[in-house]
Chains A and B, each alone.
Chain A
Amino acid sequence: MARARKPEPVAEPATPPAALQRPPAEVTYADELARLRAGDEGPRPPGWALTPRAVRAFVLGDEARGVRKKFVGDAALVDRAMVTLATNRGLMLVGEPGTAKSLLSELLAAAISGRSTLTIQGGAATTEDQIKYSWNYALLLAEGPTPRALVPAPLHTGMKEGHLVRFEELTRCPLEVQDSLLSVLSDRVLALPELPGSEGLLFARDGFNVIATANTRDRGVNEMSAALKRRFNFETVFPIPDAATELALVREEAGRLLARSGVPRVPPEDVLELLVTTFRELRAGQTAEGQALERPSSAMSTAEAVSVAHAVGVQAHFLGRGDATPADLVDCLAGAAVKEGAEDLRRLRAYFEQRVARMGGAHWRAFHEARHRLPR
């Protein structure tokens, strides 16, 4: 069993982490990771910085060791994800946008490899260069194809050093680019035909694997080739099933973001309840009582709920009278729920007329009365 390799030193940020807009997980939670590493006895898969149990504690929290819960989801999912990463298949996290797939992938990479920054962002313009390697053309002209002239991309680095590589939105890439992962995933080897001799093949070190994410709203996984699908194990990440948990999460995350924006207070509880209820009902396409609703094209994710809560707090603090009101929520809601113009707006209006109008409670009434603030 390989001994724990010291995690790669993360490029030391020039500014202290507090001033970074969004430091990577291994920086944000450096102290937690250090605590987990201390006294982390037990077998671990080759190339892993922590034992699977410590990884689980890092992701799902462990109060006894002062580790915060970072991902709201079931333990079985995290277990399956870890076992997949320890085998020779890649891990594919799929789900609606905003279900914390990327967060989970970042946390796993930070805990298992000590480094979550080997990330490829998939998109229509992603090319093989950005995934595998490219060349420093000045050196290439001067020396020809040598290891020195090669500029490694995340996949190259991950294989060479034995780290997890994150591939965000894999299915947004063109099919032929996606399929360039095939040999890497099955044979664990990257061919560098330009380099002579034994340098022409890069064999992956222990600890290398790929965590891909894909969201089901745009393109989904249907277009992936069967060959590539076979090389991944799929895990579906679901929206948070329980309203109280989601409300708590939105409150906590919005509070964190607002504090960073210099806003001292979180929107009041009744506004957050309006927000979370509205999001949950529109997302599910039905009310808590089972009446069907028309779903807007936007995913209405928890992440969006957090950002709406953030916006509501900012608006009320800097532009309003301090405490956020249902009217502030109406202002910010349209931006999140209306992604496809008139049709979404019609659905949102219908929600106000058919649903909000019938709810009891002063805050729901205020919410309904502020509906004229929706854009025309």
Chain B
Amino acid sequence: MSVHVVGVRHHSPACARLVARTVEAVRPRFVLIEGPADMNGRLDELALGHRLPVAIFSFCAHGGATRASWSPFCDSSPEWVALEAARRVGAEARFMDLPAWHEAFHDVRNRYADHHGPRPGAREALAARLGVDDPDALWDHLFEQPCDDLAGRLRAYFEQVRRDEPVGERDRAREAFMARCVGWAAAQGGDVVVVCGGFHAPFLERAWREAPPGWPETPAPPDGARVGSYLVPYTFHRLDSFVGYEAGMPSPAFYQAVWDLGPERAAEALLGEAAARLRRRKQPLSAADLIAAWAHAQGLRDLRGHAVVTRADVLDGIAAAWVKDALEAPLPWSRRGPLAPRTDPLLVEVVAAFSGERAGALAPGTPRPPLLADVEAELAAHDLTPARAPRRVTLSLVERLPASRVLHRLRVLRVPGFVREAGPRGPEDGALEETWTLVHRLEAEAALIEAAGHGATLAAAATARLEEALLAAGGRLSPLAALLGEAAFTGIEALGARVLEQVGRAVGGEPSLVALGDALAALLGLWRHGALLGAAGAAPLARVLEAAFERGLWLVERVQGTTTAADDGEVRAVAALRDALRQGRGLSLDRARALAVHGCCAHDPGARRRRASGAALGFLWAAGGFDDPAAAEAEAVRAVRAAALPARLGDFLLGLFCLAREEVLEARGLLAAVDEALVGLDRRGFLVALPALRLAFGYFPPAEKERLARGVLALSGADPGGARSLLRLEVDADVAARGLALEEQVTARARRFGLDG
């Protein structure tokens, strides 16, 4: 009887080969594998003949929250290879780790992530000795090329990692469980092969002897929790998209090639793959370029003392030979985490080629994941079950909000057959009804099985899908604002909170006042119409609103007047700031600073900032920045006189009217000053000012325009009753403007020939 512990790195082809060799050489009675023990009764499901990658998906719904975790397998997963090898030699395979619902897996989404590795200090020391500075390149350098005594090397490496790194509470709980499993298997007589993460291997080798006897009982899920594990198809893309603490081996397509073709031929195959991908994207890539990259990769192989061209060698070769520009972001494989913004597009494609597009598929007869049943139940509960004939459903968002949420969740999961025809654009939109077309589609089931990988219930799956979108948003404000809307429509509060957190970060760095203004307006809408995001969102939303307000003030100071004549984005942004100050009850906004910033801006004589200066004055007026209305009006009159130039007047008034429309209506003196300024313009000047003036007066609804017209008539002593006729133009405004211009030309020509009276 003997116990052979093989410590592995998950998804490593070299480790997978070692596992296969070991199992075949030892021909043990038991093969114990790091994996969820609650699956032990259903290991046959794994042997149905799936196309990898697939994953065991585990969920735990408890107290309103659903946790999801995956144990992904690809062809080169040591755990998968161990299962297959055990079947070949007639050994009994068992998983020997805690189930996903145990506390040890709280917040762990990828069971097979690299949770352990050389700690930074030790890594740098190794790097200095070996000349390799990133942990993945280090792994390849040490293990993923043909070498003598791989098992001995791995053991030495993992012993060192074990010595360096502290053992956490979670590790202790899992290792105690695993040690008991191994102890039990050893006690049955016969040989045992143990396949586990390298970090646990040194411990398990020693600890199983002292473990309490008997196969440990699988811990029960928390009281009242709904749990489950089932197989779902997986993709290379998702395998490669875990980041940070959750990350495993990168570039699954590369290691698939290592597994399929051997380490000697993988790099060349992937180089070809990357070239083909770039050529499909119409990037010119000559045979000479391929040769240069390959020669460079081989040079790096020799320099670094590798037996074969490793992943880092070929990627570095590609970067050296194909990039013909200064990079704005570091090479993606030199660091972990999502692609940095401004990564060279060529490198993005290369990394995608190394990541691969393979998608797994489940064998027929695999038990259906519970998501399908959940969706059927949800649809039936809300009387939304689609039939073969299309059906149109109109939902009131007041009475049937839960039903609307079900449909939105299906839409987010891209399940065919559920199309939204009409409804509010965003949470701030006032529409209270939406219309959907429902139809039963055969593809819907396939889409749901695929979506099942995201969660066991409709809510959980939609949450996970939106979380992916959150990751893809990369912290940019506009996609985040869109996601905030999705979170509100789907009614996923937890996600809304997380999006808000990122929005909070994004507003801090937003360079555009226009984008910030739009986001602030949307956030304010959420704040006012409260309930859509739920009470849980209120506190973080307040913090985000405050951050956006703060950032807006910063940006107003720097406004350069870059928007075009037809775009009043900057003015709208100032209006959003005003609204925040007016309507943001319960927010802690720095009113004094807001007034100071706008005070500065209102007095800025810069010609390009006239629109902003009008808006700033309007802001001060509307937000109570003056001692009394008379002082405000006096200031406005002064400013109008100062701006009474053709190129400035319209823009200035546009800003002022947008921000302080109601106040302006009451201000007789200001009306007189504007009238005076307009009358003071010559005809040519009036034509110059006209487009902006039209935009400016466009802020007044017809009734208020009439009131203004009455005021103007009163000023000139005419009968205010004729005001309405002033507002009606017989012809289109553009035609009138063209007529004025023509008249101006005629007059000028007449003057030239001495014909003016």
Which A residues fall within an 8 A CB radius of B? Answer: 43, 52-53, 56, 60-63, 74-76, 79-80, 82-84, 86-87, 89, 94-95, 214, 216, 220-222, 226, 229-230, 232-236, 238, 241, 286, 289-292, 294, 350, 354
Residues of A within 8 A of B137 (CB): 76
Q: Tell me the bound Cα distance from A229 to B292 in angstroms.
A: 14
B303 contacts partner chain A, Cβ-Cβ < 8 Å = yes
Q: Tell me the bound Cα distance from A234 to B316 in angstroms.
A: 11
Mask: chain B, 297-315; 1 = CB below 8 Å from A; 0 = not: 0011011100000001000
The smallest beta-carbon distance between B302 and chain A, in angstroms, is 8
B176 contacts partner chain A, Cβ-Cβ < 8 Å = no
Residues of A within 8 A of B330 (CB): 238, 241
CB of B320 within 8 A of CB of A75, answer no
CB of B508 within 8 A of CB of A83, answer no
Residues of A within 8 A of B299 (CB): 83, 86-87
B132 contacts partner chain A, Cβ-Cβ < 8 Å = yes
B246 contacts partner chain A, Cβ-Cβ < 8 Å = no
Q: Which residue from A83, A216, A232, A241 sits with its C-beta under 8 Å from B300?
A: A83
- A74-B133, A87-B299, A233-B296 given as contacts; is B334 within 8 A of A292 (CB)? no
Q: Which residue from A76, A229, A286 sits with its C-beta under 8 Å from B324?
A: A229
Q: Tell me the bound Cα distance from A289 to B312 in angstroms.
A: 32
CB of B326 within 8 A of CB of A221, answer yes
Mask: chain B, 128-144; 1 = CB below 8 Å from A; 0 = not: 10011110010000000
Q: A80-B300, A83-B303, A290-B505 are in contact. List 7 more A-B contacts (CB 8 A).
A: A56-B131, A61-B128, A75-B127, A76-B137, A76-B312, A84-B320, A236-B323
CB of A289 within 8 A of CB of B508, answer yes
Residue of B nearest to A238 (CB): B330
CB of A290 within 8 A of CB of B509, answer yes
Residues of A within 8 A of B304 (CB): 79
CB of A220 within 8 A of CB of B326, answer yes
Chain B contact residue count (CB 8 A cutoff):
38
Q: Tell me the bound Cα distance from A350 to B321 in angstroms.
A: 42
B558 contacts partner chain A, Cβ-Cβ < 8 Å = yes
Q: Tell me the bound Cα distance from A89 to B295 in angstroms.
A: 11
CB of B334 within 8 A of CB of A94, answer no
- A230-B324, A233-B321, A354-B554 given as contacts; is B508 within 8 A of A80 (CB)? no
A-B contact pairs, 20 of them (CB 8 A): A52-B303, A56-B131, A60-B128, A74-B134, A75-B132, A76-B132, A79-B131, A79-B300, A80-B296, A83-B296, A83-B299, A83-B303, A83-B317, A89-B321, A233-B321, A236-B327, A290-B505, A291-B508, A292-B509, A294-B558
The smallest beta-carbon distance between A228 and chain B, in angstroms, is 10
CB of A234 within 8 A of CB of B325, answer yes
Q: Tell me the bound Cα distance from A63 to B321 in angstroms.
A: 32
Residue of B nearest to A354 (CB): B554
Residue of B nearest to A291 (CB): B508
- A79-B300, A291-B508 given as contacts; is B295 within 8 A of A87 (CB)? yes
Q: Tell me the bound Cα distance from A167 to B128 in angstroms.
A: 30
Which B residues fall within an 8 A CB radius of A? Answer: 127-128, 131-134, 137, 292, 295-296, 299-300, 302-304, 312, 316-317, 319-321, 323-327, 330-331, 334, 505, 508-511, 551, 554, 557-558
Q: Tell me the bound Cα distance from A53 to B300 in angstroms.
A: 11
The smallest beta-carbon distance between B342 and chain A, in angstroms, is 12
CB of A234 within 8 A of CB of B508, answer no
The smallest beta-carbon distance between B329 and chain A, in angstroms, is 9
Q: Tell me the bound Cα distance from A206 to B131 in angstroms.
A: 26
Residues of B within 8 A of A216 (CB): 326
CB of A82 within 8 A of CB of B303, answer yes
The smallest beta-carbon distance between B307 and chain A, in angstroms, is 15
Q: Tell me the bound Cα distance from A60 to B124 in angstroms.
A: 12
Residues of B within 8 A of A222 (CB): 325
Residues of B within 8 A of A238 (CB): 327, 330
The smallest beta-carbon distance between A108 and chain B, in angstroms, is 14
- A75-B127, A75-B131, A83-B299 given as contacts; is B326 within 8 A of A236 (CB)? yes
The smallest beta-carbon distance between B134 and chain A, in angstroms, is 8
Residues of B within 8 A of A94 (CB): 325-326
The smallest beta-carbon distance between A105 and chain B, in angstroms, is 16
CB of A84 within 8 A of CB of B133, answer no
CB of A76 within 8 A of CB of B326, answer no
The smallest beta-carbon distance between B516 and chain A, in angstroms, is 11
The smallest beta-carbon distance between A346 and chain B, in angstroms, is 9
Residue of A nearest to B330 (CB): A238
Residues of B within 8 A of A75 (CB): 127, 131-133
Best-surrounded residue of B303, B321, B557 (most CB of chain A within 10 A):
B303
Residue of B nearest to A42 (CB): B305
The smallest beta-carbon distance between A111 and chain B, in angstroms, is 14
Residues of A within 8 A of B134 (CB): 74, 76
The smallest beta-carbon distance between A220 and chain B, in angstroms, is 6
The smallest beta-carbon distance between A325 and chain B, in angstroms, is 29
Q: Tell me the bound Cα distance from A235 to B321 in angstroms.
A: 10
Q: Tell me the bound Cα distance from A84 to B326 in angstroms.
A: 16
Residues of B within 8 A of A76 (CB): 132-134, 137, 312, 316, 331, 334
The smallest beta-carbon distance between A120 and chain B, in angstroms, is 20
Residues of B within 8 A of A83 (CB): 296, 299-300, 303, 317, 320
Residues of A within 8 A of B296 (CB): 80, 83-84, 87, 233
CB of B334 within 8 A of CB of A74, answer yes
Q: Which residue from B133, B295, B323, B511 sits with its C-beta under 8 Å from A234?
A: B323
Residue of B nearest to A232 (CB): B324
The smallest beta-carbon distance between B330 and chain A, in angstroms, is 6
CB of B509 within 8 A of CB of A286, answer yes
The smallest beta-carbon distance between A248 and chain B, in angstroms, is 14
Q: Tell me the bound Cα distance from A240 to B295 in angstroms.
A: 30
Q: Which residue from A53, A79, A86, A292 sits with its C-beta under 8 Å from B511?
A: A292
CB of B325 within 8 A of CB of A221, answer yes
Residues of A within 8 A of B323 (CB): 234, 236
Q: Tell me the bound Cα distance from A53 to B326 in angstroms.
A: 26
Residues of B within 8 A of A241 (CB): 330
Residue of A nearest to B553 (CB): A354
Residue of B nearest to A234 (CB): B323
Q: Tell me the bound Cα distance from A234 to B551 in angstroms.
A: 39
CB of B326 within 8 A of CB of A95, answer yes
CB of B320 within 8 A of CB of A233, answer yes
The smallest beta-carbon distance between A323 and chain B, in angstroms, is 33
Residue of B nearest to A224 (CB): B324
CB of A80 within 8 A of CB of B320, answer yes
